[in-house]
Structure 1
Amino acid sequence: MLLRLCSHGLLLICCLLSLGRSDTEEKCSTFTDLNIHNSIIGTDLNVKFILHTRENPTCGKHLNSTSFHDLNVTRRTVFITHGYRPTGSPPVWIEDIVGRLLSIQDFNVILVDWNRGATTLVYHNAAAKTRNVAENLIHVIDNMLDQGSSLNNIYLIGVSLGAHISGFVGKNYNGSIGRITGLDPAGPLFNGKPQEERLHYSDAQFVDVVHSDIDALGYRESLGHIDFYPNGGTDQPGCPKTILSGTEYFKCDHQRSVFLYMASLTQSCDIDTFPCENYRDYRIGKCTDCKEFLPLPCPVLGYYVDKWKDYLVKKSPPMTKAFFDTAAKDPFCIFHYHLDFITWSSKIRRGYITIKLVSSQGDITESKLDQDAATFEQYKEVSLLAKFDKDFDSVSKAFVTFTTGTVIGPKTKLRVLRMRLRPLKNRNRPILCRYDFVLLENIEMEFLPVPCDDTNL
């Protein structure tokens, strides 16, 4: 149509239309969008850098690796590097993570788009290109440094293979880059490799890592100054449990690390974590004091964990594992309470506790403390860790159930001198108690909790 207009002498209109189209193409650069056909035939590596700032949050600008006329090098710069793309489509989280980062600070957010290279049915082919992607990124950073940028202001966020790419970049600068965040670093072909061939805590001044799929696509062992293991690092709540769910079954756990990190950017609630030797010790409440970080509380997951940097990098060795549970949906936060029992049954009782809280407004939240059977001995206090997906300013009712988990034999009674519910984080809230009652096995008991007698805390 445009050619026909030109042929009829409408040269001015033709030129204006062409110029307008050219301007649009220059102003907006989009993430490479491929398909399964590209995966089958494979793609040659072609790395593209797309810049977003608060001036252009939704319309990316193509960043020339040698000319940075759109880039303010004095700003803190965040590079986001994706991983393997078996179907060629852009990551579903790309636009969201850019928007959330720009909502908290005036960053340069640069997408490292290596979809042409990551798109292939053969994972090994994509993994083999990670060093070349890192070289492209190093070239950009070198030019930024020449124009006045600082390594302190460089922050690399790498997803899956992108985490190891970030590590390769960090090694090039002898660990002087400000920070690297690894979001479920890829495990296949990297598990067990020496530190020169994968992400390592020495690759930046501060390295934090989230492991959400250690039994499949992710890396199992510690890699950073602090390594987070949501829900133990394996099955994430809300993700499909069977292969009948299709591709979501394979990628949901792996991607959860990204969505947890993005949730931390909104600060609608903190995702509290607990440094611990293992997941079991966290779940039975052995790791809740975080005394080593005083006056700070326990570390939080995500962007703001750098507040704990000084504590973490000084450890010897500077490696901390942190465990926590999450809810199934954004913002994923869990609220922790201690549930303490002093019992007076003459015989030892072993069993499980479920507690359900009702707010003054009638909302309900429940915690099933089923990680291990608790052992209740006469006059000895047992402290259990209860985890709720809602946090109530006030509790109007509580429902408690005791079970031994057996289906045969006589029903057991648990005689309780005192049951106490203590919020782990909001210490200004009242500690609630109930005194002198009997829990009948598998019978839900309703209580009106009362503030504890100060002499019995």
Structure 2
Amino acid sequence: MLRVAFHLFHMLKLFLFILLTCWVRSDTEQKCEEFTDLSIHNALAGTDLKVKLLLYTRTNQNCSESLSEYNTTASTYLDVTKKTVFVVHGFRLTGSTPIWLNDIKELLLSLEDVNLIIVDWNRGATTIIYPNAVHNSRGVAEILKKYIDQMLAVGASLDSIYMIGVSLGAHIAGFVGEMYNGKLGRITGLDPAGPLFSGKPPSERLDHTDAQFVDVIHTDMDVFGYRKPLGNIDFYPNGGEDQPGCPQTPFSGSQFVKCDHQRSVLLFLSSLRGSCNITTYPCDSYLDYKNGKCANCEAFQPMPCPVLGYFADKWKNYLIQKDPLETKAYFDTSGQEPFCMYYYFVDFITWNKSIRRGFIRIKITDNAGNTTESKMNSEATTFQQYRQASIFVGFYEDFDKISRISLTYSTRTLIGPKYKLRILRMRLRSITNPARLQMCRYDFVLLENIETTFKPIPCQERDK
């Protein structure tokens, strides 16, 4: 009998040990707070506002710490002596977790040792009634203000606070910045929301006065995004409307709706990856940029042309002293990662007695036989005798060694005679890499709609 009791006693101890272990493991797992993942059912029912602040650092990169808006001293990982980056998402029609969330976390922390705070207001942003989410955005800003106040109380600096806001989140960042009279270090707006914000005064949307430096990327200004400039510098990739690689018909499903709007985030992520620095060109309009009127970066010396994304603040000191303070910058992209374009001027001097107008398609081929074609469709070029005409073009690939150039001249008319374009000199010069050898070709004829291919030679000294 005693022996049976002894075994029962040990079995009870083992059971309690297993129970305790499971309880500890469960408790540990609960500390790794996750972004609130909801569904379309929540959107249909509507959600009340609830904000979670999820802190990631290089020490807890894979396990967020949930912060309290009332007590920063309770945090294990927050270091207020470092830069703090807040990432604020926008309206969530289906309640799902943003697909870019993990990428922005990993890339930011790999690039810089910061406090990264994901602002999870999915409860409040998830609804089919967009005005309700707009209304909740003010509440999110007030909660962020309370937490930042706590950070300031224990030694943080407004200079070191950087807010990245996506869509509706961009205006939330602006509201917070306004509460601090524009003393936040920086705000980046990724395609700030347009509906219910267009035409509003600065106090009711993101504005360049909301931080020491405000940069904005516009990718869907004709549907979900904001059209007019909002920052110290506003970037308009591909003109700010339709983005290459995005579906053109509703048959593509949800991507048809959100692809352009979401491209702003993907372009920002590309700047964090550093695959290529996307150069942009300050200009009055997209048409002027396309026609090559703004491609001279020497005008900004000693500054280079601004780059897109995370490192745009290198232009901060120049931009905040400009009058007016707002600068628009344009550029084109490819349709997929890393979205880079490589820019050239192709200069022509012709000797036709009569004026010619038309388009020239340009292809370049490297020594390995790889070929890339110009993708930017500018207006028709006017060719006058002995006057230089320059065409601004972009390619998806950049070749260090160019073995062949192919040109096709066209007036794009369906009827009438075919024309010749008599070229005295053609010159290809890189804008992306201005130190690269300029390539020329002399004295040849282009027949309309017939591709002409030739081997270029280094330009003569007088032609550079």
Provide the TM-score with structure 1 as the length reference. 0.97
- Please, which of 406, 411, 415 is the counterpart of residue 418 of structure 2? 411
Query: Residue 64 of structure 2 aligns with which residue?
Result: 60
Alignment of 1:341-420 (within 5 A): 341-420=348-427
For the pair 1:29 / 2:33, whether they are aligned, the reply is: yes
Q: Which amino acid aligns with 1:294?
A: Q
**Deviation, structure 1 residue 293:** 2.3
Say whether the 8 Å CA contact 1:417–1:437 is kept in structure 2. Answer: yes
Say whether the 8 Å CA contact 1:230–1:326 is kept in structure 2. Answer: yes
C-alpha change, 1:101 and 1:369, in structure 2 (3 Å) is closer
Q: Which amino acid aligns with 2:41?
A: H
Deviates more, 1:96-105 or 1:185-194: 96-105
Query: Residue 38 of structure 1 aligns with which residue?
Result: 42
| Alpha-carbon distance in 2 for matches of 1:360, 1:9 | 72
SS of 1:71's partner is coil
| Alpha-carbon distance in 2 for matches of 1:289, 1:73 | 42
Say whether the 8 Å CA contact 1:238–1:329 is kept in structure 2. Answer: yes
Query: Residue 21 of structure 2 aligns with which residue?
Result: 16
**Deviation, structure 1 residue 57:** 1.8
Alignment of 1:226-375 (within 5 A): 226-375=233-382
Say whether the 8 Å CA contact 1:354–1:369 is kept in structure 2. Answer: no
Deviations along 1:204-260, whole A, 9 cap, x unmatched? 000000000010000000000000000000000000001111111110000000000
Query: Residue 150 of structure 1 aligns with which residue?
Result: 157
| Alpha-carbon distance in 2 for matches of 1:369, 1:171 | 40
| Alpha-carbon distance in 2 for matches of 1:137, 1:99 | 23
Say whether the 8 Å CA contact 1:158–1:180 is kept in structure 2. Answer: yes
Q: Which amino acid aligns with 1:203?
A: D
| Alpha-carbon distance in 1 for matches of 2:130, 2:270 | 29
**Deviation, structure 1 residue 376:** 0.6
Larger radius of gyration: 2
| Alpha-carbon distance in 1 for matches of 2:77, 2:314 | 31
Say whether the 8 Å CA contact 1:6–1:14 is kept in structure 2. Answer: no
Query: Residue 51 of structure 2 aligns with which residue?
Result: 47
| Alpha-carbon distance in 2 for matches of 1:427, 1:371 | 21
**Deviation, structure 1 residue 368:** 4.3
**Deviation, structure 1 residue 369:** 4.8
Deviates more, 1:56-65 or 1:121-130: 56-65
Provide the TM-score with structure 2 as the length reference. 0.95
Alignment of 1:120-139 (within 5 A): 120-139=127-146
Query: Residue 124 of structure 2 aligns with which residue?
Result: 117
SS of 1:166's partner is helix
Query: Residue 440 of structure 1 aligns with which residue?
Result: 447
| Alpha-carbon distance in 1 for matches of 2:278, 2:376 | 20
SS of 2:165's partner is strand
SS of 2:379's partner is strand
**Deviation, structure 1 residue 12:** 2.4
- Please, which of 210, 214, 217 is the counterpart of residue 224 of structure 2? 217
Deviates more, 1:194-203 or 1:420-429: 420-429
| Alpha-carbon distance in 2 for matches of 1:34, 1:425 | 44
SS of 2:33's partner is coil
Deviations along 1:317-345, whole A, 9 cap, x unmatched? 21000000001111111000010000011
Deviates more, 1:313-322 or 1:59-68: 59-68
SS of 2:60's partner is coil
**Deviation, structure 1 residue 437:** 0.5
**Deviation, structure 1 residue 82:** 0.3
SS of 1:269's partner is coil
Query: Residue 94 of structure 1 aligns with which residue?
Result: 101
| Alpha-carbon distance in 1 for matches of 2:147, 2:11 | 41
The number of residues matched between the two structures is 452
Say whether the 8 Å CA contact 1:270–1:300 is kept in structure 2. Answer: yes
Say whether the 8 Å CA contact 1:293–1:308 is kept in structure 2. Answer: no
| Alpha-carbon distance in 2 for matches of 1:418, 1:160 | 48
Deviations along 1:345-373, whole A, 9 cap, x unmatched? 11111111111111112211110452211
Say whether the 8 Å CA contact 1:145–1:151 is kept in structure 2. Answer: yes
**Deviation, structure 1 residue 67:** 2.9
**Deviation, structure 1 residue 427:** 2.2
**Deviation, structure 1 residue 316:** 1.1
C-alpha change, 1:9 and 1:339, in structure 2 (3 Å) is closer
Deviations along 1:422-448, whole A, 9 cap, x unmatched? 001312211000000000011010010
Deviates more, 1:63-72 or 1:12-21: 63-72
Q: Which amino acid aligns with 2:82?
A: R
Say whether the 8 Å CA contact 1:420–1:452 is kept in structure 2. Answer: yes
- State the Cα RMSD in Å: 1.4
Point out where structure 2 has 5 or more consecutive residues left out of the alignment.
1-9
Say whether the 8 Å CA contact 2:409–2:446 is kept in structure 1. Answer: yes
**Deviation, structure 1 residue 262:** 0.7
| Alpha-carbon distance in 2 for matches of 1:215, 1:456 | 43
Point out where structure 1 has 5 or more consecutive residues left out of the alignment.
none
C-alpha change, 1:368 and 1:204, in structure 2 (3 Å) is closer
Say whether the 8 Å CA contact 1:50–1:60 is kept in structure 2. Answer: yes
SS of 1:372's partner is coil
Superposition misfits of 4+ residues, deviation over 4 angstroms: 5-9
**Deviation, structure 1 residue 455:** 1.7
Q: Which amino acid aligns with 2:242?
A: D
Q: Which amino acid aligns with 2:21?
A: L
For the pair 1:180 / 2:184, whether they are aligned, the reply is: no
| Alpha-carbon distance in 2 for matches of 1:292, 1:167 | 31
| Alpha-carbon distance in 1 for matches of 2:331, 2:383 | 25
| Alpha-carbon distance in 1 for matches of 2:175, 2:92 | 20
Q: Which amino acid aligns with 2:187?
A: I
| Alpha-carbon distance in 2 for matches of 1:8, 1:104 | 49
**Deviation, structure 1 residue 7:** 8.2
